[in-house]
Amino acid sequence: MALLAKGTWVVVADGEKALICENTGTPRAPRLKLHAKMEQELLPDREIAADRPGRMPDPGPGQRSAMEETDYHRQAKERFAASVVERLNSLAARGKVERVVIAAPPQVLAVMRGGLDDALAGRVIAALPKTLTQHPLSRVGGMVAELIDPV
């Protein structure tokens, strides 16, 4: 059985952009129909962070160590991935998603997997640790089909 059958949903995401599509073509010649496009703009660090990292006392007289800086971009990307998963969970709850393929960078994919409802997690047929958001949608379907079901 071909994995990217007609009606399979394909979610291509990274920390700033997500495309939620459905395959309306065949398994070997997929044609992705865009259902939703989600985007967020990441602000530069200088506009997010107000201060330099704090310092904390170390054991010993007069010693202090710098604390690790907060990675605001990573936090924003994780929140965005969680919002994409919320949308997918909502679609699955309404019975619209029977099979889904998720393609995202490894860190984003981990966040997305962690937020999947049990019902939707059972419908994920492939999770690809790839960044495909820079490619045109017309090519993404073929790339996903090749990755999950090589000839």
Residue 129: inside a domain, yes or no? yes
Residue 58 lies in a domain: no
Torsion on CA atoms 115, 117, 123, 128, rounded to nearest 10:
0
Digit-coded pLDDT (tens) for 30-85: 999 999 999 998 777 777 776 777 777 778 787 878 777 778 888 899 999 999 99
Q: In terms of DSSP bridges, do strands 9-13 and 100-103 run parallel, antiparallel, or are they unpaired? A: parallel
Q: Give domain status of residue 38, yes or no.
A: yes
Let me know: does 6 contact 72? Beta carbons within 8 Å. no
Lowest mean pLDDT among 19-33, 40-54, 122-136: 40-54
pLDDT at 126 over 60: yes
Confirm if 8 and 14 have CB atoms less than 8 A apart.
Answer: no
71 φ/ψ angles, rounded to the nearest 5 degrees: -95, 90
Residue 114 in any domain: the answer is yes
Structure tokens given for 117: 């409802």
* CA separation for the pair 137, 31 (Å, rounded): 9
Closest CA relative to residue 103, chosen from 8, 2, 6: 8
Look at the chain and report how many structural domains it folds into: 1
The per-residue pLDDT for 102 is: 95
Q: Is residue 2 part of a domain?
A: no
* Closest listed residue to residue 105, CA positions, set 137, 138, 74: 74
Does residue 64 form part of some domain? no
CATH number at residue 37: 3.30.420.60
Give the Cα separation of 139 and 126 in Å (integer). 18
- In this prediction, residue 1 carries a pLDDT of 39
Flag whether 88 is in a domain. Answer: yes
Q: Is residue 59 part of a domain?
A: no
Domain that includes residue 143, residue range: 9-43+71-148
